[in-house]
């Protein structure tokens, strides 16, 4: 009686029948009786609700008894450059990383393993991205989101995809997602619009040893992001330093007076020095302008005094010029009146008219002739 073993395999189970530790049969659902007086038979039951076969030696069993197990189990073996998406009845259940192996039950579900070769690119398919970010908290999101690196490249920007620090490709504006399993994925973004840069508070000695504080403004544009990233570790810091050094060279080689007389020449010199280097590194330097030249307090007072003296001298020159012109005009008038008595008489009458306008009461003796001849007498 006790030599028989009764085994019940439920509908959701499959049984591995071992005799002397050798797999001899896979038991379907049902009730089984085995004569085993010496305990050579062992039954191992497996729940099909668990997608992965629980026997830790399943892979070895499949090699030795593949014909028995192949209708029930499938080995998903990922190469070092592959990832696997495992589906049961077209529903995603698990992600397999590169080099990972799993043994799955094929029954009672339809098992499908989708292999993705990472050598063909790291871009995550759009439908999968939508599924990950649409079902937050679900199986898809829980399994995939930690292994996906996302980046949103803004309008007017260019994205640079870096895999383990190596630049792989450029990205257009939009939403992007990449597989990040066993590698570091990052995206840098560079603005391709014309941008402004300020080089402020530069303390520089002029050629005549005057300490100056200068502010420089510049506009630039990144034309070749890949070249800029490959040639320069920090592109924006580089162009700032180039503007700074060129400004120091241009100002340090000039005396203060020359600098103040022609600031545009300083702008051109800085532009010419930096524009060529910028083009070699993927930039276009659009414009450069010296915004502020700030002098020390004492030097500012001295220059103000110089300017005041120059303006006063200019005013005196103009005043003397006007006085000379007025004297010359009077001399010419006198010559004309000397040569023309009638003109002289008209001048006398004009003077008489001005005098009488300012006299309240005028007594005339001698009639009209007295008015004309005796009121004003000019002796030459």
H helical segments located in the chain:
58-64, 66-69, 126-134, 139-144, 225-231, 235-252, 256-261, 263-280, 297-339, 341-357, 367-374
Residue corresponding to tokens 């399943």 = 58
Residue 288, classified by CB atoms within 10 Å of its CB into exposed (0-12), middle (13-18) or buried (19+), is buried
How far apart CA 289 and CA 271 sit, in angstroms, is 9
Same-domain pairing of 12 and 81:
no
Domain end call among 62, 97, 120: 120
Is the same domain home to 109 and 142? no
- Domain boundary (295, 325, 355) is at 295
Domain housing 322: 297-339
Distance separating alpha carbons of residues 377 and 371, to the nearest angstrom: 11
Confidence class of residue 92 from pLDDT cuts 50, 70 and 90? confident
Top-confidence range, 45-59, 308-322, 334-348: 45-59
Q: Is the pLDDT of residue 39 over 50?
A: yes
369 pLDDT higher than 80: no
**Same domain? 61 vs 131:** no
4-13, 25-34, 301-310: the lowest-pLDDT one: 301-310
Q: Does 96 have pLDDT greater than 80?
A: yes
Q: How many domains in the chain? A: 6
Q: Are residues 164 and 205 in the same domain?
A: no
What is the pLDDT averaged over residues 355-375? 62
Q: Which residue has the tokens 């192949």?
A: 70
Average pLDDT for 132-154: 78
> Same structural domain for residues 167 and 181?
yes
Q: DSSP string spanning 45-108?
A: EEETTSSB---TTHHHHHHHSHHHHTTTEEEEE--TTEEEEEEETTEEEEEE-TT-EEEEE-SS
User: Distance (Å, rounded) from C-alpha 263 to C-alpha 314?
Assistant: 24
What token pair was written down for 153?
A: 């490249």
Joined together, the tokens standing for residue 295 give 């002098």
Q: What are phi and psi of 148, to 5 degrees?
A: -120, 130
pLDDT for the residue 193: 94
Closest CA relative to residue 76, chosen from 49, 55, 105, 54: 105
> Which residue pairs from 123-130 have beta carbons closer than 8 angstroms and sit at least 24 positions apart in sequence?
123/176, 123/177, 123/178, 124/148, 124/177, 124/178, 124/179, 128/85, 129/175, 129/177
Does residue 131 sit in helix, strand or coil?
helix
Residues 303 and 275 in one domain: no
In this structure, are 214 and 245 located in the same domain?
A: yes
- d(C-alpha 127, C-alpha 56), whole Å: 35
Query: Using an 8 Å Cβ cutoff, are 74 and 113 in contact?
Result: yes
Residues 155 and 232 in one domain: no
Mean pLDDT of the chain: 84
Q: State whether 204 and 288 are in the same domain.
A: yes
Domain boundary pick from 145, 168, 191: 191
- 167 Cβ contact list (under 8 Å, min separation 6): 160, 161, 226, 229, 230
Q: Based on the fold, state whether residues 212 and 228 are members of the same structural domain.
A: yes
Whether residue 155 sits in one domain with residue 69: no
Are residue 290 and residue 268 in the same domain, yes or no? yes
pTM of the model: 0.61
DSSP helix/strand/coil, 378: coil
Distances, alpha carbon 325 to alpha carbons 228, 266, 318, 322, 335, in Å: 67, 42, 11, 5, 16
Map residue 125 onto helix, strand or coil. Answer: coil
What is residue 199's three-state secondary structure? strand
Q: What is the mean pLDDT of residues 348-374?
A: 65
Residue 380 has a pLDDT of 46
The mean pLDDT of 223-232, rounded to a whole number, is 91
């Amino acid at each position: 009686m006790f030599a028989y073993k009764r085994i019940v395999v439920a509908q959701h189970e499959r049984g591995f029948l071992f005799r002397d530790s050798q797999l001899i049969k896979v038991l379907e659902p049902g009730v089984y009786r085995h004569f085993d007086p010496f305990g050579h038979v062992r039954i191992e039951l497996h729940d099909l609700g668990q997608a992965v076969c629980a026997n830790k030696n399943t892979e070895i069993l499949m090699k030795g008894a593949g014909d028995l197990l192949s209708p029930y189990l499938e080995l998903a073996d990922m190469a070092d450059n592959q990832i696997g998406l495992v589906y049961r009845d077209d529903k995603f259940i698990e992600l397999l990383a590169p080099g990972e192996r799993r043994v799955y039950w094929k029954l009672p579900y339809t098992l499908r393993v989708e292999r993705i070769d990472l050598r063909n690119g790291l871009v995550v398919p759009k439908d999968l991205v939508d599924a990950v970010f649409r079902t937050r908290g679900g199986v898809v999101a829980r399994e995939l989101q930690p292994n996906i690196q996302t980046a949103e490249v803004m309008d007017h920007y260019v994205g640079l995809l870096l895999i383990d620090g190596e630049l792989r490709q450029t990205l257009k504006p939009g939403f992007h997602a990449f597989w990040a399993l066993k590698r570091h994925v990052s995206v840098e973004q560079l603005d391709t619009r014309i941008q402004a840069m300020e080089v402020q508070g530069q303390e520089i000695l002029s050629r005549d040893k005057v300490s100056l504080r200068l502010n420089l403004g510049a506009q630039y544009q990144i034309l070749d992001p890949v070249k800029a990233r490959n040639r320069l570790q920090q592109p924006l810091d580089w162009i700032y330093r180039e503007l700074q050094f060129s400004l120091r060279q241009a100002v340090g080689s000039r005396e203060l007076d020359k600098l103040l007389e022609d600031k545009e020449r300083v702008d051109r010199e800085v532009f010419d020095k930096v524009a060529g280097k910028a083009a070699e590194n993927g930039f276009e330097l659009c414009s450069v302008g010296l915004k502020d030249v700030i002098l020390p307090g004492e030097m500012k007072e001295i220059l103000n005094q110089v300017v005041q003296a120059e303006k006063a001298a200019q005013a005196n020159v103009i005043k003397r010029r006007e006085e000379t012109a007025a004297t010359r005009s009077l001399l010419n008038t006198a010559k004309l009146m000397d040569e023309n008595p009638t003109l002289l008489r008209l001048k006398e009458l004009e003077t008489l008219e001005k005098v009488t306008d300012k006299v309240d009461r005028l007594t005339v003796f001698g009639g009209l002739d007295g008015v004309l001849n005796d009121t004003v007498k000019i002796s030459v």
